[in-house]
Chains A and B, each alone.
Chain A
Amino acid sequence: MWLPPATPSYPGALYLACWFAGGVLLAFLVLPLVALALTQSGASLAGVARMVDVRDAIVLSLEAAFLSAAAAAVVGVPLAYALARTAFPGKGIVAALVDLPLAVPHTVAGIALLLVFGRQGVLGEPLQTFVGLKFWGTIAGVVVAMLFVSAPYTVNAARIGFEAVDPQLEKIARTLGLNPWRTFMRITLPLARRSIMTGVTLTYARSISEFGAVVILVYYPMTAPVKIYELFLRFGLEQSAAAAVLLLIVSLSLFVLLRTLAQRGGVPQENR
């Protein structure tokens, strides 16, 4: 930790106080995870990793979170661009709608989703009848639950990214002979890429960690958080802690990997 020299003209004492307060928060965030990790030996982790149902649950979580992040990118990025570049009455309401899932308790979200995608849901029933797409007992249901609670991260980050792209650059591209679609693909999207990737990564991370909405909409097949909850209820702390550490290791390493990829090859910002 670097501390500036405490000269009178330099607010060294201020920084010191900030680092102290911030240090409390950092410790609060890291300590429980370290404590959890320390409960496990390599052998106990290997043991839980050999359990087929735990492995299946982790794989399902990764797959569903990937699909959720991909779906958020496909429908969320266009919404973000529309919000960044167009003005219309009620724009504030639309922006608030995007944030709504962040304010809804996830169990409430799960019940609401059940009404739409459940067996008798307004979409669930016709989709099952006509397309054969089923949201109960399938990965599709898991993805729907994850997407609902995590899509705002992609939309908001992408919107900030698009808003930071100078509209003059898009205009120049048009005068150079690029139509609006090519302008978006060649100029706008690459310039907002870093923000979009950050948002998609957050959506992915939030999807993996989702429990409440998933457990109500789709109890089976079990995602990793649901499986850990089940182990906790049936076998207590010891069994569930081992699975928890395993999930922690897998999801953290993926998160770090994705973050690194998202930040790589970024656009050098021009001095303004």
Chain B
Amino acid sequence: MSASLAVEALTLTLGAFRLNQIDFALARGEILVILGPNGAGKSVTLETIAGFHRPDSGRVLIGGSEVTALPPERRNIGFVVQNFGLFPHLTVAQNVAIARRSDRAIAVPDSTFPAHGDPAALLSYFGVAHLAKRMPAALSPGEKQRVALARALASVPDVFLFDEPFSALDADMREQLREELNTFLRALAIPAILVTHDRGDAIALADKIMVLRDGAVVQSGAATEVFRKPISSFVARFVGVENVLPGRIVETTENGISIEVGKQIVGAARGQSMPAGRPIVVSIHAEDVAVSLPEGERQKSAINRFAGRVTAMRRAGALVTIAIDCGFPLRAFLLGPQVREMGLDVGSGVAVQIAPEAVHIMAD
């Protein structure tokens, strides 16, 4: 099956900014999250797919046909922006009805969905029919999102583009709305690209992740792959790996790789062979760090088991982030009840253990 959306070697110059060789493809129902700092080219990429910038070279294919030369109004795109971009001078019903009607239908797994984009039926589908006569200013963020989705679907889009839709919301609302968006997008199986600088959006929504920096792709792939095996410390920090530590290769044996990190030797599972002495960076997810109370001499010889001391604790909901000094700084997660049971406090002695498979080596 051909991809629902494909971007091939897209290159674009916009003043001093240059978008360089962007490549990716999305299948039906897939969600791609484009991550990157401000000015990385995330929105420009989205707007080029939508048809607002003419690329220097490369192609954009939507639903199997090339649209690179078409204006935005002929690309069948659903576009959702920060604060959802409802037209403030039109009622909810008028917002949805302004979309140009299409004689096509969306093939959607959800049989209750009004596939031909009838505005009233769309508002009902999203549970906002009772708001039809309201002005957008009178809606909650959740209601705005639903109306924005209904409106975008009225023109029967082949792909959804979201440009930082949640960036003006507080954390609670943000989490709630992206859960809701996830539910809708999974039910509709329309491919979507979401641009954000918030890794929480990526964790909640992404099938695939593309990390941009200065107009170029740093890493692109399945979300789990990018989270587990970031290609560089830049990506690791951006996708939120809690422990990103500089180190030095000690030796590579058939059992694994030894790395000097701080005052300790950390063992990593065998990957490609690396020359001894080479400086590298390791990333370790906090959830891969096991924390226990020190148990005397027992198990002291176990691999990657280090004695340490708690230097700080930060509570976020049920989860407690514990900073530990074990010869190098390490962060781990514990649940609130565990912390109480273990009687942990700043200064407490602990033992930490890291599975060698969880130690990921990066070049820089």
Contacts and interface: CB of A to CB of B under 8 A. Distances in A.
Interface of A: 166, 168-169, 171-179, 186-187, 190-191, 267-272
B85 A169 contact: yes
A179 B98 CA distance: 12
Nearest to A168: B81
B25 interface: no
A191 B88 contact: yes
Q: Give the interface SS of chain B, mostly helix, strand, loop or mixed.
A: mixed
Nearest to B72: A174
A87 to B, nearest CB: 10
For the complex of A and B, 8 pairs with smallest distance between CB atoms: A177-B100, A174-B72, A175-B79, A176-B99, A267-B89, A168-B81, A175-B77, A270-B88
B223 interface: no
Contacts of A172: 79-81, 85, 87
30 contacts: A168-B81, A171-B50, A171-B79, A171-B81, A172-B80, A172-B87, A174-B51, A174-B71, A175-B72, A175-B73, A175-B152, A175-B155, A176-B73, A176-B98, A176-B100, A176-B152, A176-B154, A177-B73, A177-B99, A178-B98, A178-B100, A191-B87, A267-B88, A267-B89, A268-B88, A268-B135, A268-B137, A270-B83, A270-B88, A270-B137
Contacts of A171: 47, 50, 52, 72, 79, 81
Given A171-B47, A171-B72, A268-B137, 9 more contacts: A168-B163, A169-B87, A172-B79, A174-B71, A174-B73, A176-B73, A179-B71, A179-B73, A269-B88
A213 B12 CA distance: 52
A269 B83 CA distance: 13
Contacts of A173: 87, 98
A187 B72 contact: no
Contacts of A174: 50-52, 71-73
Contact of A178 (B73, B136, B161): B73
Interface residues of B, number: 36
Contacts of B161: 175
Contacts of A272: 83, 168
B273 interface: no
A270 B79 contact: no
A215 B58 CA distance: 63
A168 B98 contact: no
Nearest to A87: B15
Nearest to B74: A177
Given A174-B71, A176-B98, A269 B137 contact: yes
B98 A175 contact: no
Identify which of A171, A179, A190, A268 gathers the most chain B CB atoms within 10 Å of its CB.
Answer: A171
Contacts of A179: 71, 73
